[in-house]
Structures are given as C-alpha cells and as structure tokens.
A and B are shown apart, each in its own frame.
Chain A
C-alpha cells in the first residue's frame, strides 16, 4: 500500500474535463513533483486532494483511506494533509505570528506547537523579525515564507505546495527551494506543483509530467532531467 495515492481522478468544471484520469503516488519521506504548463491541471489536482473541488470519480487514498468522504477542514484535522495554496493566500489583516498560529488552528498539543513555531522561525529568520507586522505589509517573498511556515505549523504528514516560486526574484526562488529541501530532510513528505521544472526536478526524487489533464510521463527526477521531451518543453533546452 502506498503512503499516498491518487487513482484515476476525473474532475470537471461544468462541461470542461479538467483532469482526465490522473494517477500518482507519493511514498513517505519523498518529494514528488508535478510539472506542466499553465492550465495542465496541476492546481486542480491539489485542490481535489484538499477537498476544495469535488472530483467526478476516482480515489484519493492516504494510508489506504479515501479522502473523498471528508470535508476540506476534516482533511486537515484528521489526516494532516496540508495544502499551501497558489498565490500564498496569507491573512493580510493578521500579524505574521497570528498567521502562523492559524496554521496550528486545530492542534491541541500546545508544547509541540511552540516547538514548531521556533522551528519555523529558524527556517525563516525574517519571519521572526517581522512577527508583529501585518502579513499584508510583507513582500512577496516573505509572504511565501509565511505561507510555507503556516503550512508547517499544521504538523503536516503530507505537504502539498502549489507554485512556491511564483512571482519571486530568481535569488529568492533558489533559497525557497533550498528550504523546501531542508523541510523534506527534516521528515516531511512533499507533493510539489511547479511551473519552474528546472528547480523542481533538482530537489525532487520523482516527477510526473502533466499535460492537458493527463499524466504523460512519470520517472525519477534524474531521468526526467535527461529526457529529451522534458528538456525541450519544460526546461527550455534546444
């Protein structure tokens, strides 16, 4: 039994067939990346996993149990499958620290929450400097750190990350990816959705290539980097 597995997932938006039978799996401790162009269905896949969109059919299994019978907030509280959404979506009118505590909203193990807060501040010292500041006043990079930190505060057993590099300066992108790798080394399983295939394939163990709602390729990150089609289409090499 896989740690996390999606089987033959179909999602429709009205008449549009957005996901045409996606299957993928993530083993405990891995970083798996889902790459593809705009509109390929990457975000939709994550939204289906966290319960924000209802698939027409298919299965989403976490440790063998189907997540489809849970509401979005139950997936968080009961399974600790945590989604760091595209565009960061931090609570602009709350302070940085309030945002982080929102991440731990459903947790009852107070001591561990404080430990995790310290850990997040260690990963992102910037957030500690700005912890009393309103999240809406942070720069894009800092908001992305906050969004990731907020996800970590939920003590995720599977972390879904949607385009963490979007809209960031290249130097920041690099450091964000280093942090993601660090988070993974500390023991968090990650499913990473990225347009920046180049960076994603450097830190991931395995990858899936999504095109117009279908998975067209699946391999280890190393092999994908060497794959001609991937190089041409997603890595911008001639």
Chain B
C-alpha cells in the first residue's frame, strides 16, 4: 500500500500539482459560493426548480445536437465542426415556411399541424446539408491525415454560415408563436401547484422522445447494426457485406435530422433565427458530447442534459454566492470551463469511452 503510494508519487510532475491546485480552487469556489447562496436563501425552492426545468429543456436540445457530433466521431474519428451550421440550416430555411403558414392562417387554425410541417422541412433541410457535406467535403479526404478533415470542417462551417447569410439576409427573423404552447400548465393544483411553462415541457418531452427513437434505431434496426459495425471496424463491416460509404451517409443523415429537429425547438424557445445561431449551440453540444464521452451515444444524451442543467443552475448557485454581478451572463464561461476541466481530468467523459481508440 505505502509502496504503491510512493511509486505513484514519484511520477507526479509540477504540471500535475498546478492542475490539481486549480481544480481544488475551483471546487472551493463552487462549495463556498453554493453555501453562501443557500444559507442566504435568495432563491426559493420553486425558483431552483425552474432553473432545473429550463436547464433540462435546453439540455435536451444540446443532447439532440450532440448526437450528431458523437455519431460522426464514432464512425470517422473526426469532429464535424460544421455541425452547428447543419443545426442552423434547417430552422432558418423552415422559418420561411412558418412565415408563409402564418400568413395563410394555418398557425392560427391548425397550430400543431403547422408546427409539424415546419419541423419536417427543417429536419429535411438539415439532413440534406449534412449528407452533402459528407459527400462533397469529407468523403474525398477519407484517407487523409486527421487534421485535414478537421480544418475542412471549420472551412465548411464558415462557408455554410455565409452562404445562408447571403441567401436569407443577415438579420434576425422572429419565429411565429404557437398558441397551444403559450402560457403554463399546472401540475398537482391541489397539493404542490407545480406551474411549468408549456414550451419547456413540449421541448423536453419531444426531444427525449426523439432521443429514445434514435437510440432504438441505432440499437435495434438493421441499419443501426450496420452503423455500429462500421464504427467498430470499417473493413470487417465491409467483409460482412455492409456498404460502408452508404452507412456513413446514413450516419450523417441521422445526425442531421436530429439537429434539424433541435433547431426548431431552439427557434421556438428563443423565438428567433439567424445565420449565426448554430455557433454557440454547436460548441455547447460539442462540449456535451465530450462530457458524455465522445463516440458514446447515451453519453452524448446524458452530457447534453447535464450541461443544460449545470449552466442553468450554476451561475445562480455558485457565482452569485461569491458576489459576482450579473452571474447569469457567465453561463457560457461555466460551460466551457467545464469542457476544459473535463479534457484535463477526465478526457474519457462521464461514461468513460476511450477518446483515441485507434490512431
């Protein structure tokens, strides 16, 4: 026991010590801040619950986007940095359908049907963009060193942003409101009187349903089995008669469809779309994928929900207690600090998939 400890101590470097000090400091900050705010009683239990619920809704959107990152990584070992733009392309295009349906009065007469149409168009556009991206930008570079597709992805990201900026003009566009999703629903009116915004519930529930659906698709269908086989060993999959190129296309399509759906949820929650809307959710979802363990499907879902709640509760919980003004604006800083910490201390993510299985 003592022997082993001495052995391990010998291999601790100065950098390790510095990193552990940073981690300890951050942890102290979190504990002290949380303690202050909780003893102070600035927020009621209900308000904390609100933070958690909006965090879950936001997190389920991250989870849907993160799915695309993690599936593509699982199969090609590349980070598709243009995935945020895949997410943007759907709802931005579907905005025009939404606007048209609103003018025709369909959003007023059949709001849910109209929403469904918008949703389908958004998913379709995102899917087409994702698949074309793979076909045109990534497939020709399949054999290249890993840095090459990565840089290409960043280029493709800018290309898509400015293409859509040129196509649809740079301004913000307001998504129509959906009448049945306005206001709140009250649960247990006699005892708890839990009042929750309808939109959050709708977004959370439909996202989770979609996540389950996609997971089942990968786990239980024949195509899903092909995806998993290609992710494990492309050549062995080809020897089973799996069409590898086609399977990679399908993977991009699934990720694209999920991102397109997430985009509509995002547009409904924040009521606006523009060409830059994919940047931050894209980075956040990437963070979520890393948190969960990139390449790992349930991990991406878990990571998304975790990140959503963390950045929703975090600012009020441990920054306000330290006297940081306007703590809520620092939620992005919290999210990315967490990314860095995870990459340093647990690069395998929560669910522990090895990051670089094969070089």
Pairwise interchain contact B242-A105, C-beta atoms closer than 8 A: yes
B225 interface contact, C-beta 8 A: yes
Choose the segment among B75-83, B226-234, B265-273, B284-292 that binds chain A (4+ C-beta atoms closer than 8 Å). B226-234
Question: Could you mark each residue 216-228 of chain B with 1 if its beta carbon is under 8 Å from any beta carbon of chain A, else 0?
Answer: 0000001001101
Q: Please report which residues of chain A, range 79-136, place their CB below 8 angstroms from some CB of chain B when the two chains form the complex.
A: 82-83, 85, 89-94, 98, 101-103, 105-106
**Contact status A91-B239, CB under 8 Å:** no
Complex-state Cα separation, A220 to B270, whole angstroms: 77
* A89 contacts B235, C-beta separation under 8 Å: yes
Q: Does B179 contact A (CB under 8 A)?
A: no
**B243 an interface residue at 8 Å Cβ cutoff?**
yes
- A162 and B208 CA atoms in complex are apart in Å by 45
Partner of A98, one of B225, B235, B239, B243: B225
A73 lies within 8 A of B241 (CB): yes
The answer to whether A102 touches B229 (Cβ under 8 A) is: yes
Give the number of chain A interface residues (Cβ < 8 Å).
Answer: 25
Chain A residues with Cβ below 8 Å from B229 are: 91, 94, 102, 105
* Distance of A12 Cα from B243 Cα, bound (Å): 25
A77 within 8 A of B: yes
Instruction: Give, as a whole number of angstroms, the nearest-CB distance from A214 to chain B.
Output: 26
Hey, which chain A residues are within 8 Å of B239, CB to CB? 50, 52, 72, 76, 82-83, 85, 89
B238 within 8 A of A: yes
B-side interface size class: 10 to 19
Tell me if A193 counts as interface (CB < 8 A to partner B): no
A203 within 8 Å of B (CB atoms): no
Distance from A138 Cβ to chain B, minimum over Cβ atoms (Å)? 15
User: Cβ of B237: which chain A residues have Cβ within 8 Å of it?
Assistant: 102
Q: Is the CB of B225 within 8 A of A73?
A: no
Residues of B within 8 A of A51 (CB): 238
B151 lies within 8 A of chain A by Cβ: no
Known A101-B225, A105-B225, A105-B226; judge A73-B236 contact (CB<8 A): no
How close is B153's CB to chain A, nearest CB, in angstroms?
A: 26
* CB of B240 within 8 Å of the partner chain: yes
Bound form: Cα–Cα A103–B238 in Å = 11
Contact of B232 with A93 in the complex, beta carbons under 8 Å? yes
Are A94 and B235 in contact, with the CB atoms below 8 A?
A: no
A contact patch SS: loop
Residue B244 CB within 8 A of the other chain: yes
A150 at interface by CB-CB < 8 Å: yes
Residue of B nearest to A102 (CB): B240
- List chain B residues, Cβ under 8 A from A73: 238, 241-244
Task: Decide: A105 and B235 in contact? CB cutoff 8 A.
Answer: no
Indicate whether A154 reaches chain B with its CB closer than 8 angstroms.
Answer: yes
For B235, the closest partner residue in chain A by CB is: A52
Interface residues of B in 12-67 (CB under 8 A from A): none
Which chain B positions have C-beta within 8 A of A91?
228-229, 232-233, 236
Which of B233, B238, B240 is within 8 Å of A52, CB to CB? B238
CA distance A106 to B356 in the complex (A): 31
Q: In the complex the two chains form, what is the Cα distance from A102 to B232 in whole Å?
A: 12
A57-86 with Cβ < 8 A to chain B = 71-73, 76-77, 82-83, 85
Residue pair A92, B240 in contact (C-beta under 8 Å): no
Residues 170-189 of chain A: 1 if any B CB is under 8 Å from the residue's CB, otherwise 0? 00000000000000000000
A85 in contact with B228 (CB, 8 Å): no
Q: With A98-B225, A101-B225, A102-B225 known to touch, is A76 a contact of B241 (CB < 8 Å)?
A: yes
A73 vs B239: C-alpha distance when bound (angstroms): 6
Known A102-B225, A105-B222; contact A76-B232, beta-carbon cutoff 8 A:
no
Question: Closest CB of chain A to B247's CB: distance in Å?
Answer: 10
Q: What is the CA–CA distance of A93 and B295 in the complex, to the nearest angstrom?
A: 13
- Docked Cα-Cα span, A146 to B179, in Å, equals 57
Given contacts A89-B235, A93-B232, contact A77 B225 (CB under 8 A): no
Query: Which residues of chain B have C-beta atoms less than 8 A from A82's C-beta?
Result: 239
A73-B241, A105-B222, A154-B241 known; A92-B236 Cβ under 8 A: no
Q: 14 interchain pairs (CB within 8 A)?
A: A52-B238, A72-B238, A73-B238, A76-B241, A77-B241, A82-B239, A83-B239, A85-B236, A91-B228, A91-B229, A91-B232, A93-B228, A94-B232, A105-B241
- Give residues in B with beta carbon < 8 Å to A: 222, 225-226, 228-229, 232-233, 235-244
Kindly list 11 other residue pairs between chains A and B, CB separation below 8 angstroms, not including A71-B243, A94-B229.
A50-B239, A76-B239, A82-B239, A85-B236, A90-B236, A91-B228, A92-B232, A102-B237, A105-B240, A105-B242, A106-B241
